[in-house]
Structure 1
């Protein structure tokens, strides 16, 4: 017996609103997901993920839907209002990663120089992004996956050197608020580990994130001096997993890491 469609709450955010409208127009046109899939170049599973607010899409998707569902460009207009500005705020090579990030069941991140974007405060991000408010809002928008209820938030594991807690990003007020956020967000679904200063580890070649997707596949995002890149090769993924595990062995346990973060807050008091 088929499951009833997931109940969306449009006020929860842009993905819910867009997904609910795609579903509404499809049903008004009398199409099943399979029937719509037969007429546009997207799979039934992808259409279903968009309707359930589990996946972002490119602008071509609502354009195809508008044509088949005869919506007079309603979905494309809605897409532009909800996503166009945010999409343009991300570098082109990063946009695909935001879609992977939103689908992931687990995200394991190593950041050698800054706090991971999913854990940044707006003020911290504003300094890093040179005051570009569109980019700040887009980065903060990514954090919606951490508080969603259905599907559950991804399991986040973040590792960083202790020196990240010392870098002056925006001055004492910004740093104090950022570290307090890190200390307060630790939970069974969100853990962070700190590598004590001076501890040798193999994480000196740059930041990377490992994502595990619902189908069990694994994808990585690796930052370089020029741009980030998405890695899917199995051998590369295996090497990054080994590197992440080796880094973790040199980090403090979660509880001690949170204590160290809390203690470092005092470093940033006036």
Structure 2
């Protein structure tokens, strides 16, 4: 028996309001999600995620829906009003990367300062984003790929220095919940490995992620002091992969990393 659609509260967030309107116009046009997907260049799973307020979308998505559902540009107009220059809560330089995450089969991540965005709790993200509701919702919506069923969630290999576990973001209660969440996230498709403090490694030049798409293409993302940049040059990606592997040789195995995280919770954040 099919599951009833997720109940949305449009007043909760911009994503909820936009998703509820996409669903409403689709229903008024007597289209199923699959029927709509057959007419626009987006998958049923992506349309469903937008309707459930679990994923951001670009303005072009709204434009395609407007054309098929005969909304007289209502969704594009709503998209402009809700998101405008904020581009769904993401800065301009980042807005293409969530689409890469959605298309990825594997994500290799190194984050030297804070917990990786796809694994942040709401309170942890809220502290980092200074309570910006749009940005918080956008970051949390990216996490929908971790629980999707078709296609499978990306395989995530996440490396972080031990010092990330010590950095106070939001106080003991927030940190305790965040590290507990990190432990629970570990599974067959998500590994977390901690580099012990003091271990020499070439990971002192900032955050980077290497994505391998389902079709085999590789794209990377690296952050600078000013902004992040997407990287498609093969030589640059090869160098990042070598750096990732070198950092990984200094990291603890997953089981020992989980034990270290639990020990840090007990010793520092109780």
Per the normalisation by structure 2, the TM-score is 0.80
1:178 Cα offset (Å): 1.0
Q: 1:66 corresponds to which residue?
A: 66
The verdict on how the C-alpha distance between 1:11 and 1:68 changes in structure 2, with shifts beyond 3 A counting, is closer
Is 230-239 or 48-57 further displaced after alignment?
Answer: 48-57
Question: What is the Cα deviation at residue 102 of structure 1?
Answer: 1.4
Distance 1:23 1:110, change over 3 A: farther
Q: Equivalents in 2 of 1:173, 1:240: separation in Å? A: 35
> Distance in 2 between the 1:22 and 1:104 partners?
28
Partner of 1:11: 6
Q: Does 1:49 align with 2:42?
A: yes
The 1-side partners of 2:3 and 2:46 are apart by: 8
Q: Which runs of 5+ in 1 are unaligned?
A: 1-6, 37-46
Give the CA deviation at 1:176.
Answer: 1.0
Please say which of residues 47-56 and 123-132 is displaced more in the overlay.
47-56
Equivalent residues of 1:86, 1:137 under 8 A apart: no
| Alpha-carbon contact 2:90-2:135 (below 8 Å) kept | yes
Equivalent runs, 1:1-270 vs 2, <5 Å: 10-11=5-6, 18=22, 47-53=40-46, 57-67=57-67, 70-76=70-76, 87-270=87-270
Any idea what the Cα deviations from partners look like across 1:41-89, whole Å, max 9, x if unmatched?
Answer: xxxxxx4434441796521343255346633235436756887697342
What is the match of residue 40 of structure 1? none
Please give the alpha-carbon distance, in whole angstroms, between the structure 1 residues aligned to 2:4 and 2:142. 18
Unaligned runs of 5+ in 2: 9-14, 48-54
Separation in 2, partners of 1:183, 1:165: 12
Alignment length, in residue pairs?
Answer: 251
Closer, same or farther in 2 for the Cα pair 1:88/1:82, shift >3 Å? closer
Closer/same/farther in 2, CA of residues 204 and 26 from structure 1, 3 Å limit: farther
Residues 85/25 of structure 1: CA separation in 2 closer, same or farther (3 Å cut): farther
**Alpha-carbon distance in structure 1 between the residues aligned to 2:236 and 2:183:** 32
Cα distance per residue 1:91-112 (max 9 Å; x no partner) = 0110000111111111110001
TM-score, normalised to structure 1, is 0.80
- Once the two structures are overlaid, the 10-residue window that deviates more, 250-259 or 165-174, is 165-174
Relative to structure 1, the CA distance from residue 20 to residue 189 in structure 2 (aligned partners, 3 Å threshold; closer, same or farther) is: farther
Deviation beyond 2 Å, 4+ runs, structure 1: 7-28, 31-34, 47-52, 54-58, 60-88, 267-270
In structure 2, C-alpha distance between the alignment counterparts of 1:232 and 1:65, rounded to whole Å: 30
